[in-house]
Every structure is written in structure tokens, then in C-alpha cells.
């Protein structure tokens, strides 16, 4: 597989994982920037993520227009992705979803959503809440044009996640694997915080130093990160689609050689790297 094929393959996997982990249902989507052209990104046509295959993926310019003629219906909210890719050159992948357990945190400022568990560190120290009404008044709450997408991206700023009032969230990350990880652990972090509030007393949030330490140690193809990706993909029924890019396998020459002979075990990671 070419590098691009690999990426689109991973985009299909990402869709299936998000569906199986209950982050998306009929709605919600995940995109990835074109590896060779930062002004383009890939996103599925309008279809529930659980059903998406390679043929459903469409290439877009940053203003949400399909690069090639496209007769099939498109996601109304593709402008979320374009807006973030435009504003944030460092971002490679974006998720927008309505995962239920983050919704309460977008409805009130009573308890800001912040990382409390180690797997939640990647949401970042600050999670802004974007209220579409602040600038656009009474809408149907959907991000349905370039201007709205840009406004959301502006609110997101340099952060990893923005909550969208009464609607859901947008997450941005350095890779597909990372954005899926952020999205899966975001509701878990939200539930832990909500329930800790019930217990009373002072809540210990992750410190900035802890968040930074975890972020520094992160690599999408580390043993520990890869373990979750492989696990989630297998549970979602697409474990057979999981591949590791050559560049990464090459890090550990010996295991790469072994792996090359046994393609069925490609998913097995090299030893001792950091999560």
C-alpha cells in the first residue's frame, strides 16, 4: 500500500472504531489532512461511520468543496474540519461528534471540563466552550458554512478540544490515532469528573506538568498507543485492516524482519517504547 492508501485505510478504521466505541452514531465524523497537500483533507460522504468503506471517502478543499465532481450527499458539517485544518497547520486529524457524556459540560460553566485521569490528558489543560449563538444568533446549531467553521476554529485556538454548546465537541490532533484516542477517552474523563463531584471534597486535576509530560511522551506508533488502536479495531471488526507504516516498523529492525515474514502478525508492536 502507498502512504496515501495507508492513510485512507486508517481513516476507515477510525470511523469504525468511533462507531463501535459509541462516540458517533448516525452522526459525527472524522477527517484527515492530505499528507502531500495541506490545503486538502479527506472525509466520508454523508453516511453513518459504522458503514463507511474506502469508496465512501471524498477529498475536499479547506472551504468544504469536493475536489472532484461528487453526486453523493455530503456531511452538512464538513466546515468544522475545513475550518480547523485552515486555522491550525499543526493539526492532521479532526473529529466532530455528539458523544453523550460530554454534552452536560457544554451546557453549563458550573464545572469546567479538565483532565482528571491520565488517559484524559490529551484533551489538554483548557477545553473552551463554543456557543454558536454568540455570533450567529438563533440557528439550527449545525456548523453549516465556512464562516461558522472558522468561528469554531477561532474558539478552539491552540487547544485540542472545543465543546460545542448543546451539540457536541470538535477534537484536533497530530494524527488519526491520536484524535481517535482523544475522542474515546474524552467521555470517560467527563464521567470520572462528574462522579468525583458527587463524592465531595477537593478534586485533584492533572497538573500542567503532568499533561505536558504525557504529551511529550506521545507517539502514534508507540507500543502502548498502538495496543489500543489494534484492540479497538479488532473489537470493531476491522482488526484485519490494521497495518503499521514501514517507517515505523523499521524503528525496530529485528522485529520488522520477523514481521515481514509473517504478515498476519503485522499488528504486533516493537518493544519498550513509550505510550
Of residues 187-226, those binding a copy of itself (CB under 8 A): 188, 191-204, 206-207, 209-210, 212-214, 217, 223-224
Helix (H), strand (E) counts: the chain:
10, 7
If binding is defined by CB under 8 A, does position 237 make contact with a copy of itself?
no
What is the footprint of a copy of itself within residues 131-170 (CB under 8 A)? Answer: 131, 133, 137-142, 165-167
- Sequence-distant (≥ 6) Cβ neighbours of residue 96 within 8 angstroms: 28, 29, 30, 77, 80, 81, 143, 168, 169, 170, 171
CB atoms within 10 A of CB 39: 14
Q: How far apart are CA 211 and CA 209, in angstroms?
A: 5
* Total count of residues recorded for the chain: 275
**Min dist. Cβ of residue 123 to a copy of itself (A):** 13
Question: Which of 21, 69, 70, 77 is labelled catalytic?
Answer: 77
Q: Which of 39, 46, 61, 145 binds a copy of itself (CB under 8 A)?
A: 46
Nearer to a copy of itself, 54 or 235 (CB): 235
| 77 tagged catalytic | yes
Q: Does 94 bind a copy of itself (CB under 8 A)?
A: no
Phi-psi region of 201 (alpha: psi -120 to 50; beta: other; left: phi over 0): left
Q: Which is nearer to a copy of itself, 27 or 35 (CB)?
A: 27
> Which among 34-42, 171-179, 184-192, 243-251 is the span making contact with a copy of itself, rule CB under 8 A?
184-192
Which among 10-18, 117-125, 149-157, 243-251 is the span making contact with a copy of itself, rule CB under 8 A?
A: 117-125
Task: Give whole-number Cα distances, 97 to 40, 78, 188, 197, 248, in Å.
Answer: 21, 12, 15, 25, 30
Minimal distance, residue 235 CB to a copy of itself, in Å? 8
What are the catalytic residues?
77
Amino acid at each position: 500500500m502507498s502512504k496515501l492508501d495507508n492513510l485512507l485505510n486508517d481513516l476507515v478504521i477510525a470511523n469504525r472504531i468511533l462507531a463501535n466505541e459509541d462516540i458517533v452514531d448516525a452522526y459525527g465524523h472524522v477527517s484527515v489532512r492530505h499528507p502531500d497537500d495541506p490545503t486538502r483533507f479527506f472525509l466520508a460522504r454523508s453516511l453513518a461511520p459504522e458503514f463507511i468503506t474506502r469508496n465512501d471517502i471524498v477529498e475536499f478543499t479547506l472551504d468544504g468543496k469536493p475536489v472532484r465532481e461528487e453526486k453523493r450527499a455530503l456531511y452538512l458539517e464538513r466546515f468544522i474540519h475545513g475550518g480547523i485544518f485552515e486555522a491550525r497547520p499543526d493539526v492532521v486529524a479532526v473529529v466532530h461528534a455528539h458523544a453523550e457524556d460530554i454534552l452536560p459540560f457544554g451546557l453549563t460553566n458550573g464545572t469546567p471540563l479538565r483532565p482528571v485521569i491520565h488517559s484524559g490528558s490529551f484533551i489538554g489543560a483548557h477545553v473552551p466552550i463554543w456557543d454558536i449563538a454568540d455570533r450567529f444568533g438563533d440557528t439550527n446549531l449545525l456548523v453549516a458554512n465556512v464562516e461558522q467553521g472558522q468561528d469554531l476554529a477561532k474558539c478552539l485556538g491552540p487547544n485540542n478540544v472545543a465543546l460545542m454548546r448543546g451539540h457536541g465537541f470538535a477534537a484536533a490532533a497530530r494524527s488519526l490515532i491520536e484524535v481517535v484516542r482523544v475522542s474515546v477517552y474524552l467521555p470517560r474523563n467527563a464521567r470520572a469528573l462528574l462522579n468525583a463531584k458527587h463524592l465531595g471534597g477537593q478534586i485533584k486535576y492533572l497538573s500542567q506538568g503532568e499533561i505536558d509530560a504525557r504529551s511529550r511522551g506521545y507517539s502514534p506508533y508507540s507500543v502502548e498507543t498502538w495496543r489500543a488502536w489494534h484492540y479497538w479495531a479488532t473489537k470493531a471488526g476491522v482488526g484485519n485492516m490494521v497495518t503499521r507504516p514501514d517507517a515505523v516498523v523499521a524503528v525496530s529492525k529485528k522485529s520488522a524482519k520477523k514481521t515481514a515474514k509473517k504478515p498476519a502478525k503485522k499488528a504486533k508492536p516493537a518493544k519498550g517504547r513509550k505510550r
